[in-house]
Amino acid sequence: MSMEQEQGERTPGGASESRSAGLVVIGQVLAGILAIALLMVLTRLLDKRTFGLFAMVYALYEVLVAGGTVGLPASMLYFAPRAADAECRRLGFGTGVALILCALPIAGGLLLFSLFSGQIVAFFGTIASLFSGHVAELTDDSQVFSLLPYLAVFILLDFPSQMLSNYLLGRQRYNASVLTTLSLVAILFVGLVVPTSLGLGLDGLMLCFVAAGAARFMAFAVYFLGVERRGTLRPHLPTLRGQLKFGLPLFFDNLVGKLNRYLDRLFIAVVFSAEVFAVYHIAAQELPLVGMLPYSLTSAILPRLVLLYREQQYAEFVELWHASMAKMAVFMLPIAVFFFVRAGDFLSVAFTEGYAGGELVFRLYLFLLPLRLCSYGGVVQSTGATKHVLYASLASLAVNMALNWPLLRLFGMPGPAAASVVAQAVAVVYLLGAIRAKVGLSWARVFPVAAVARAGAVAAVAGLPMVLLDLGGLSPGQRLGLAAAIYVPCYLTAGLLTRTITGADLRYLVDLARPGRRSE
C-alpha cells in the first residue's frame, strides 16, 4: 500500500468516523468469532490431553501479554494521532523495539521455569495433595514445562506486532487496522490448524505456533521497513518515556483484569490433569458478541452521559443509562436462558461431546449475563471518578483469590468458576455504589431491577418448551437446532405481547451492530 493510498484511507468527518468506528467493532467481533472457530477445530483434531497442554500455554501467553507489554500498545491510540506524519514511523518502530526489550526478561523467565521444572512440579504436587478426596485423580502434567521454550520464542517474535493494529487505528487508517487485526488472528488460525490436520503431534504444533509468531513479526517488519518509508526509524527516547508514563496505569488495570479472568484456570491447571483443564478452558470461554455489545452500547451513549453529568442533569443521566440497560436486557437475558437450558448440547455440538462435562461451569458463567448489561467502568468514567474502576478490579481480584481455594476444596472443578462469578459481581456492586454516590441515587434505584426482572421472566417462560426436548431420543445437534427454532419465535412473541420488546428495541439492536449507525 502506498503512502498516497494510506492517506486516502483516512476518514475525517463525523459520519465517516462513525462508520469507521463501527467497522472496527465489527472487525473485533469477527476476530472473536475466528478465535472461537479455532477452538472448535482444535478440539476436534486434538485429543483432550494435547489440547489441554496447549490451552495452558496459551492462557499463560495471554496473561504475559497483558503484563509484559506495559501499556505500550494502548499508548498508540493517544500518541499516534498527535504525531506528525514524519514522526509516525519512528514512533511505531520504536514502540516495537521497546516491546522486544520487554519480551526479553519474560522469555528468560520462561526458560528458567523450563530448566527447573522438576522442583516446580514437586512444589505444585505438594499443594495438590491438600485436595485429596476433593478432586479427580491427579496426573503429572509436567510436560507443559517442556513447552515453555516454544512460548519464549513466540513471545519474542509476537510482542512487536501487538501495537500494529492500534498504531493504524491511531493514524485513522481504519480499514488497515481491521485488516491487520483479522490477519494476525488468521495467521495463528492457519499456523495451528495446518499442523494439527497433518497429525504432527504436540511438538509439531508448537513449532508451527512459533512459525505463526515469526509471521506476525514479519507483518510488523514489512510494514515499517517496506510500507511506511517516510521518516527515520531511530526511536525517540523522550517519547518512549512519555508512552510508558501514559501506559503504565492502563497496563496495571489490564493486568489485574486478565488475572481476574484467568485465576480460576490457574487453580485448575495446578490441581487437575490436562484433560480436565481442557474441559474447563472450553466451558469458561466467552461468546464474542455477548462480550462486545454491552461495551459498544455504553460507548455510544458515553458522550451524552458526560454532558448530562457535567450539567448536573442527574435524572436524565440515570434515565438514559437505565434505558440502555433495559434495551440490552432484552438481548442478553434470552441468550442466557437459551444457553443455560441447552448448555450440554451447545458444548457437544461446538466442541464435541467430550467437552459436555463442562456444562455446569458453562452455566455458572452465564449468571454474569444479567449483570453485564453495560460497561459499568465506562459509566463511572463519565463522572470523572476513574480511580474507582481500578479499585473495583482490585477488590474483585482479592475476592477471587480468597474464594478460589476454599470453593475448589468444597466443590471440585465448578468451585473456581463460582469464585470468579462472585468476584465479578463484587466489582459490579462496587461500581454501582460509585455511580450511586455521584448522582445521588438510593441503592434501591441504582439498578433497573423491574425492567431487567421483566425481561428475565419473559425469557424464562419462553424457554420452558425447550426443556421438553430432553424427553425425545434426539442427538445434541438436533436438540440444539430445534431449541433455537422453538425459542426465538416464542421469545419474540411473548416479548411483543407483554410489550417487553418493542419495534424500537429491535431497530436499536440492528442499528447498534451496523457500521455508521447510532441509535438515539
Task: Please state, as a whole number, how many other Cβ atoms lie within 10 Å of the Cβ of residue 443.
Answer: 10
Torsion-angle region of residue 333: left (phi > 0), alpha (psi -120 to 50) or beta? alpha
Q: How far is Cα 69 from Cα 448, in angstroms, rounded to an integer?
A: 38
| DSSP tag of 235 | -
Q: How far is Cα 348 from Cα 354, in angstroms, rounded to an integer?
A: 7
DSSP H or E stretch at residue 114? helix 85-115
| DSSP tag of 354 | G
pTM value is 0.85
* pLDDT tens readout for residues 196-233: 898 888 889 999 999 999 999 999 999 998 888 777 77
Torsion-angle region of residue 384: left (phi > 0), alpha (psi -120 to 50) or beta? left
Closest Cα partner for 264 from 392, 412, 109, 118?
412
pLDDT for the residue numbered 515: 47
Cell of 485: 427454532
pLDDT for the residue numbered 509: 60
- Which residues lie below 8 Å from residue 34, measured CB to CB, with a gap of 6+? 182, 185, 186, 189
Task: Please state, as a whole number, how many other Cβ atoms lie within 10 Å of the Cβ of residue 137.
Answer: 7
Q: What is the mean pLDDT of each run of 10 residues along the chain (520 residues)?
A: 43 48 70 88 93 93 89 84 82 92 94 78 60 43 83 96 89 84 92 89 92 95 86 79 79 82 89 91 82 76 86 92 90 92 94 93 92 87 82 92 92 93 94 92 90 94 89 86 93 90 71 49
3-state SS, one letter per residue, for 493-508: HHHHHCCCCCHHHHHH
Q: How far is Cα 443 from Cα 177, in angstroms, rounded to an integer?
A: 42
pLDDT for the residue numbered 166: 87
Q: How far is Cα 109 from Cα 358, in angstroms, rounded to an integer?
A: 33
DSSP notation for 34-87: HHHHHHHHHHHHS-HHHHHHHHHHHHHHHHHHHHHTTTHHHHHHHHTTTS-HHH
pLDDT for the residue numbered 74: 83
Buried b or exposed e, range 142-180, using 16+ CB within 10 angstroms: eebbebbbbbbbbbbbbbbbbbbbbbbbbbbbbbbbbbb
